[in-house]
Amino acid sequence: MTENTNDVLVRADGLYKVFGRRTQEAVDRLRAGSARDDLDGVTAAVIDASFEVKRGEIFVVMGLSGSGKSTLIRMINGLFEATAGTLTIGDQEITSISEKKLRAIRRDHISMVFQHFALLPHRTVADNVAYPLELQGVGRPERLDKANEILGLVGLGGWGEKLPSELSGGMQQRVGIARALAADTDILLMDEAFSALDPLIRREMQEQLLELQQKLQKTIIFITHDLNEAMFLGDRIAVMRDGRIVQIGTPEDILTDPANDYVEQFVQDVDRARVLTAGNVMEKPIAVVPSTAGPRTALKTMRDSFLSAVYVVDRDRRLLGTLEDRDALRLVRKGERSIEGVVKDDAVTVGIDDVLMDLFIPAVESKLAVAVTDAAGRLVGVIPRMTLLAALGPGPGATEEISLPVQPVPTTVIDQVLADSEDGRPVESPAVGSEEAR
């Protein structure tokens, strides 16, 4: 299927940024196959970078110090001119326009949040937020109203008259985000925006950014050296090394299919529980019967699956509940042909996009493998507890046996009841839990 180019807001094609003399000669040598370290007298900060950022996504550029990520973001906002290649914002190629047009694009289409806040210390919080509107010529009453509205959006309602020095680091960074949002630009650039914060505040800011993104659907290009942060925030991630982009993909792509040894070493320490989702690890559900099935069919499914219960779904595969072996056995003994009336509405479900860290409690509470459902409530997969542990890698308890909350009826009892019902003989199987059944 051909991609709609209107969905691409930022496009880079073969971007180079070389500092020093004879930069074009350096680009030619790099294109011919020379290594970065082979160049004398110049620094190749960005080498042959090509990527697209889609409208409304969080695109994370991740790399260690010296990888070129900060240079790349400064090329996007026009602070650094590309040595070679093209960079397009919307439908405007910014690598070949006048300084006046470039300033207009920066003012109207791109906002930036800095690592160290970059607030104006002698202006109030509200005035800091309103500053981009002041540059756009908006009157003071209107821009302050807008500033206070956005401060409420980032959780700083009522703080507008304070000075930045009266706020904590996390609050100051919220002011920085509010200022960037006040400009109402298409693109939000964030350069190591949370790296100066302590870990707890940093995590809080990451979560708030995602909450804001759900409401505002901005196009965000986020720079970080922290892969856990990249994995948590990014819809897609570009991994940089020595000026080059070595892999672009979703967090799941990079975690499960690293492009090379460099990326693989990075992902070894990633908190997989915060990255992988139920949809990444779920298996095809086997212990499932339709609501139209009889109790004998349900028992056979349990016996074949070595389980003590099954999921019950309707004709559209919407999950209705669970059926336990004891209840199915009682129905067979009574000669019943329908399981209606004994299906329990107690299925433990998770969403297909839920991260693994949110699945541990459901996994403990469920009598079956945790059910994964889509937005319509359809059963799309299951996650056995051992699969959940295996997805997180080896660790304490990974090989421990996990018992089911429901003690299964012995298979011999099920076999005998099914055989008796097939022969038409009176069903007088031993009561579940009796000494004979054992």
Final residue of a structural domain among 218, 250, 276: 276
Beta strands in 114-177 (DSSP E): none
Contact between residue 129 and residue 147 where contact means Cβ atoms under 8 Å apart: yes
Q: Report the distance separating Cα 169 and Cα 167, nearest Å.
A: 7
* Mean pLDDT of the 373-377 span: 93
195: CATH: 3.40.50.300
Say whether pLDDT at 431 is over 50. no
Kindly state the helix (H) or strand (E) to which residue 132 belongs, with its residue range: helix 125-135
Query: Same domain, yes or no, for 255 and 378?
Result: no
Residues 311, 396 within the same domain: yes
With beta carbons less than 8 A apart as the criterion, state whether 189 and 113 touch.
yes
* pLDDT category of residue 402 using cuts at 50, 70 and 90: very low
Q: In this predicted structure, what is the pLDDT of residue 58? A: 96
Are 41 and 164 members of one domain?
yes
Does one domain contain both 262 and 290?
no
Last residue of a domain, one of 276, 295, 329: 276
Name the packing angle between helices 411-423 and 295-305 (round to 10°). Answer: 150
Domain check: are 193 and 59 in the same one? yes
For residue 118, pLDDT over 70 is answered with yes
Residues 167 and 71 in one domain: yes
Find the domain containing 19 and state its range: 5-276
Contacts of 213 by beta carbon, 8 Å cutoff, 6+ apart: 58, 220
- What is the three-class DSSP state of 47? strand
Count of all residues that appear for the chain in the document: 438
| DSSP string for residues in 248-277 | EE-HHHHHHS-SSHHHHHHHTTS-GGGT-B
Report the pLDDT value the prediction gives residue 102, as an integer from 0 to 100. 87
Nearest-Å Rg of the Cα atoms of the chain is 29
In-domain check, residue 104 = yes
| Domain co-membership, 319 together with 260 | no
- Mark which of 276, 293, 321 sits at the end of a domain: 276
For range 214-241, the mean pLDDT: 92
* 128, 216: one domain: yes
- On the question of pLDDT at 43 being above 90, the answer is yes
255 and 163, same structural domain? yes
pTM attached to this predicted model: 0.73
Number of structural domains found in the chain? 2
Cα angle value 384/386/391 (rounded, 5°): 100
Regarding whether 234 and 137 lie in a shared domain, the answer is: yes
Is residue 433 situated within a structural domain? Answer: no
80 contact partners, CB below 8 Å, separation of at least 6: 17, 71, 74
